[in-house]
Amino acid sequence: MWKRACDTASKCIAEAKEYNKQSRDKSHMEPDFKEGDQVLVSKLNFNSLKGPKKRRNLFLGPFTIIKLIGKNAVEVKLTEEFSSKLLVFPMILVKPYFQTEEDKFP
């Protein structure tokens, strides 16, 4: 009886893993950044920003990608304002930058 319960539990776990993998793969897209692309970086690593916290943007930038580090990180060229900060960011903290008309004419 104990063996049958363990086998059933193992089978259920394997099915759940497969189901979760399929549902994630269905909606997940790998970012396709290249060197020279413009990106926005999450402000999570920038603690010394001034002004009220509520009014700050969630992402800073745009910054230029200098180098791709594997599939999970990018090295960016920061402006002088952030020059003392880390240059390498994981992909989860980076998103592509799209220039809009609002950027040209505030």
Residues 42-75: pLDDT tens digits?
Answer: 888 777 667 677 777 788 889 999 999 988 899 9
Q: In this structure, is residue 33 part of a structural domain? A: no
What's the total number of domains in the chain? 2
Average pLDDT, the chain: 85
Residue range of the domain that includes 76: 38-99
Give the model's pLDDT for residue 2: 92
Give the model's pLDDT for residue 39: 94
Q: In this structure, is residue 105 part of a structural domain? A: no
Give the model's pLDDT for residue 84: 67
The model's confidence at residue 31, banded by pLDDT at 50, 70 and 90, is: confident
Q: In this structure, is residue 104 part of a structural domain? A: no
Cis peptide before 62 (omega within 30 of 0): yes
